[in-house]
Amino acid sequence: MNCLFCKIINNEIPAKIVYRDDKVLVFDDINPQAPQHKLIIPLKHIATINELLVEDNVLIGHMTQTAKKLAQELNIANEGYRIVMNCNAGAGQTVFHIHMHLLGGRTLHWPPG
């Protein structure tokens, strides 16, 4: 498999990892769009949201709970933060391994673009 995020999971490519458990890995985005910009990825390879199975619902919930926990630890929970998942190239997905962006540390405007 030639998946960038799977290579990060397997320590084949370096990343600034900030959290890891038995379901997810979190690291700093290499092109941050906010002072705090983390990527939350599942250890399980799933290319896009369209490939999610019903049994992955717990995994997506765990990703969201991880985002909430990190927002609190990064002191952005009270001022506000955004979590985003893109699906396919037309929505901005560039790495085809589902991931959640956690952004905060500045005012985030809407619409994003």
Give the gyration radius of the chain's Cα atoms.
14
Task: Name the CATH superfamily, with its identifier, for domain 4-104.
Answer: HIT-like (3.30.428.10)
Question: What pLDDT does 44 receive?
Answer: 98
- Known active-site residue 99: yes
Catalytic residue chosen out of the listed positions 37, 62, 99, 101: 99
The domain spans of the chain are 4-104
pLDDT at position 112 is: 77
pLDDT for 113 = 59
Question: How many whole angstroms separate alpha carbon 98 and alpha carbon 78?
Answer: 27
H helices of the chain, where? Answer: 4-9, 57-73
AA letter at 104? G
Q: In what order do the strands lie in the sheet with 36-42?
A: 17-20, 24-28, 36-42, 100-104, 81-84
User: Who's near 20: CB < 8 A, 6+ residues apart?
Assistant: 26
One pLDDT digit (tens) per residue for the chain, 113 residues = 799 999 999 999 999 999 999 999 999 999 999 999 999 999 999 999 999 999 999 999 999 999 999 999 999 999 999 999 999 999 999 999 999 999 999 999 988 75
d(CA 25, CA 66) in angstroms, rounded, equals: 10
